Amino acid sequence: MQQETTHQETAGWQKLSTTNVDKAERLSFWQDSANTLFPSTVVTGSADDDFFGSVTWMEFGELMLADFISTATEIQRGEEQIGRNDMWYEVCLQVEGDCRLTQGGRSVRVRPREMVLYDSQQPYRMTFSGPYRQIALKLPRRLLQDRVPCLDTLIARQMSGQSLPGRFLFDFIITMCDVKRESARESLINRLEAHVVDLLATALSEIASEQPLSANRQAQLARVKAHILAHLDDPGLCPAEIARQQSISHRSLYELFAGEDLQVSKWIKAQRLERIRRDLGDSLLSSWPITTIALRRGFKDFSHFSRAFRAQYGISPRAYRKSRLS
């Protein structure tokens, strides 16, 4: 079997299929292929000669989008497959067929135009009783932990693709998969990454506000974070000003962030650095001086920005830009 019979590339998108794989090897080929894209799992399915699987995927920025079509399968991830560096969240968008996801003591049925979040650091089981199409999005945990409060309460909970935030996310991603050449344009890649993360955070924040536990705190924290992101480029943004704008005390603001990975000032800095990181990889901004980008994103001092960027990403801003645009 030659690799080119199963592996194709189209304008940034890559494709693997079992079509030309020997019948006796289809299921094992499919498992090996899936495990190169997503955290390791064990895949079981129908007899090899009846099995079919196809996946088209693209990496954009730190995200991976994969469009799976397959016959009935069961996918399990146990403790033995979980590695220390598996710092990912994954979101599944069900296009056709049904999926049963079990994780963290919850079991949920995901139907067409529904979505579900799951965590690569916890065991799970995903069952498809018949043929299906599912789009999977993989992204670093920190991209959501910094934006959505109480994420653990949102694992294995349905998100509707019919609600307004859910529809924006679902339709945006499925369009990326269906219009492959356009979505793979180099000038769009970094912007698409930012849009997808923002749409996902909005959809998750909506269901977070519906959860009975700590609902008021979650809703208030979501409002505060939305305010910060809306005013992030303002160099005058600071905890005192945020508290005043949100009509809460300085102490209450810090208490809202008490259960988060970063306190409010560090969260603001991390979000500014993340926006600058995306800007530095944006070919449309390649002629802009790094100093201009840093000051535009709310930093008052370039030396402070440069040190903070290196501390956050382990590379200088100049070297990072060169690596992304070369």
- pLDDT tens string 226-254: 899 889 999 999 999 999 999 999 988 98
Q: Which residues contact 268 (CB under 8 A, 6 or more apart)?
A: 228, 232, 237, 238, 298
Residue type present at position 29: F
Q: Could you tell me the sign of the dihedral formed by the alpha carbons of 228, 230, 233, 236, in that order?
A: negative
In this prediction, residue 48 carries a pLDDT of: 54
Cα distance between residue 254 and residue 263, in whole Å: 7
In this prediction, residue 213 carries a pLDDT of: 41
Nearest to 54 by CA among 35, 36, 39, 34: 34
Angle, alpha carbons 133-134-138 (nearest 5°): 155
pTM of the model: 0.71
Residues of the chain whose pLDDT is less than 70?
A: 1-11, 46-49, 209-216, 261
31 sits in which H/E element: helix 26-37
Percent of the chain with pLDDT strictly greater than 70: 92
Domains of the chain: 14-211 (2.60.120.10), 214-325 (1.10.10.60)
**Residues pairing with 44 in the sheet:** 74
